[in-house]
């Protein structure tokens, strides 16, 4: 048990058990630095941060500390695509090649947009061996994806498009809007909402980026090198915790968004509150309702685990306790999490710098979520 860590920020009296759970993660030695936020009907009822921004624990985690949240970034990418759907510029049932003609190569002319968003396009990974630095070259990756053949019959099953999701959806956004995904998100989402979240981080923010701390060494899982899992997870070989200037600056809309719990929850609150926040409407309730309709329910052929997917969002299933049956979410490698519940108009987000590899779910986040659920049930 570590000494007590000073917890900073605000917590409504009703959610004091959440603050206790947050503090408990530090006292149990599970955290180095972290932030946690809850919004209810668009207002912050919890906005906490604590610990340190570096592995040596010499730099405090400040109110404006941000860090890489890995795949939690996919919520932001999905929102950008849904905004184009809402505007009538992107049709979910049109062929991807209608917007991106080169995509028709490799027998992909019939793949429709909704299959990209539901991880059903058969493009979970890339056939051509690539170094990690290739991810910084948008044109190279999208050209490879345009000519690649699917790994399975598109639309028949889902397999987590771990890295490719951001390029596939991001290229649609670029073709339609004329803006890169990071620029579109900045201009039309983060700046209007006042959300300190970035896809393609500018150098001026480097000083406040928390160092990612990789998980402890462990026996790597044994995969058939030809399996969907191996071909997705290990090409290119992303290094856990890697975060140099080139990585931060690149726009990798599946994996390298930078923010904290407050900023992620600000965006998530928009989704939890019907697409409107503080008088600014970015999305209609009808589009959100459609996005959280089940697209796939079964075993993910990459993850080998049961999933329910909507359009760009994970949907609750028997393995995942939920705020309500209509809650939706996404999380990132190491533990970050963003979850929205349209029924209670609640959103919560967890962002930390100590990465954990817990296939059954991050115990830190699960404890925090349980405390949120208990608080909501006590009203």
Summarised one tens digit per residue, pLDDT across range 169-181 is 999 999 999 999 9
**Does the pLDDT at position 218 exceed 70?**
no
Q: Give me the pLDDT at residue 240, please.
A: 81
Query: Which residue reads 């990974």 in tokens?
Result: 125
What pLDDT is attached to residue 3? 66
Rounded CA separation 42/268 (Å):
9
For the stretch 263-305, pLDDT in tens is 999 999 999 999 999 999 999 999 999 999 999 999 999 999 9
DSSP for 313-362, written as a single string: SEE--TTS--SSTT-EEEE-TBS-EEEEETTTTEEEEEEESB-B--TT--
pLDDT at 19: 98
What is each CA distance from 371 to 24, 69, 261, 317, 336, in whole angstroms? 12, 22, 16, 19, 17
- On the question of pLDDT at 367 being above 50, the answer is yes
The CA dihedral of 228, 145, 174, 75, to the nearest 10 degrees, is 0
Q: What is the pLDDT of residues 109-153, one digit of tens each?
A: 999 999 999 999 999 999 999 999 999 999 999 999 999 999 999
- 7-377 belongs to which CATH class? alpha beta
Residues 343 and 87: their CA atoms lie apart, in Å, by 24
Query: What is the C-alpha to C-alpha distance for residues 98 and 104, in angstroms, rounded to an integer?
Result: 9
- What are the backbone dihedrals phi and psi of residue 266, each rounded to the nearest 5 degrees, phi first? -60, -45
Q: Residue 1: pLDDT band by 50, 70, 90 thresholds?
A: very low
CB 50, CB 10: distance < 8 Å: no
Listing DSSP states for 161-176 in one string gives: -TTHHHHHHHHHHHHH
| pLDDT > 70? residue 379 | no
Helix (H) or strand (E) holding 368: helix 363-377
Q: Distance (Å, rounded) from C-alpha 191 to C-alpha 178?
A: 18
CB atoms within 10 A of CB 250: 19
Q: Where are the domains of the chain?
A: 7-377
What is the tens place of the pLDDT at every residue in 306-329?
A: 999 999 999 998 777 778 999 999
- What is the distance between the alpha carbons of residues 164 and 236, in angstroms, rounded to a whole number? 11
Angle value at C-alpha 254, between 249 and 260, nearest 5 degrees: 70
* 326 CB neighbour count, 10 Å cutoff: 18
Phi, psi of 269 (to 5 degrees): -60, -35
Burial classification of residue 176, based on how many CB atoms lie within 10 Å of its CB (0-12 exposed, 13-18 middle, 19 or more buried): middle
Band of pLDDT at residue 221, cut at 50, 70 and 90 = low
- What is the tens place of the pLDDT at every residue in 13-39? 999 999 999 999 999 999 999 999 999
């Amino acid at each position: 048990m570590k000494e007590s860590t000073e917890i900073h920020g605000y917590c409504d009296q009703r959610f004091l058990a959440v603050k206790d759970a947050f503090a408990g993660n530090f006292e149990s030695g599970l955290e180095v630095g972290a932030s946690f936020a809850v919004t209810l009907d668009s207002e912050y009822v919890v906005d906490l941060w604590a610990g340190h921004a570096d592995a040596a624990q010499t730099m405090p985690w400040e109110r404006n500390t941000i860090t890489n949240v890995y795949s939690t970034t996919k919520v932001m990418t999905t929102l950008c695509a849904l905004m184009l759907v809402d505007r009538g510029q992107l049709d979910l049932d049109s062929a991807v090649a209608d917007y991106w003609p080169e995509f028709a190569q490799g027998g992909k002319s019939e793949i429709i947009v909704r299959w990209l968003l539901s991880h059903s396009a058969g493009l979970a990974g890339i056939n051509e061996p690539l170094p990690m630095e290739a991810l910084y070259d948008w044109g190279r990756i999208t050209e490879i994806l345009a000519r690649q053949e699917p790994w399975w019959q598109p639309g028949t099953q889902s397999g987590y498009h771990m890295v490719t999701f951001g390029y596939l959806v991001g290229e649609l956004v670029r073709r339609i809007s004329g803006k890169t995904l990071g620029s579109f998100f900045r201009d039309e989402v983060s700046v209007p909402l006042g959300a300190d979240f970035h896809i393609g981080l500018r150098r001026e923010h480097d000083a406040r980026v928390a160092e990612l701390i990789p998980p402890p060494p462990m026996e790597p899982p044994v995969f058939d090198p030809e399996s969907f899992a191996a071909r997705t997870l290990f090409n290119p070989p992303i290094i856990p915790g890697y975060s140099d200037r080139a990585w931060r600056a690149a726009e990798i809309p599946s994996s390298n968004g930078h923010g904290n719990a407050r900023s992620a929850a600000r965006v998530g609150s928009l989704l939890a509150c019907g697409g409107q926040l503080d008088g600014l409407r970015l999305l209609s309730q009808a589009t959100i309702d459609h996005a959280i309709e089940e697209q796939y329910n079964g075993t993910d052929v990459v993850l080998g685990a049961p999933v329910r997917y909507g359009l760009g969002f994970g949907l609750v299933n028997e393995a995942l306790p939920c705020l309500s049956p209509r809650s939706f979410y996404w999380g990132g490698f190491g533990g970050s999490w963003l979850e929205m519940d349209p029924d209670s108009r609640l959103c919560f987000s967890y962002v930390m710098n100590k990465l954990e590899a817990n296939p059954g779910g991050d115990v830190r986040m699960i404890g925090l979520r349980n405390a949120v659920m208990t608080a909501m049930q006590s009203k």
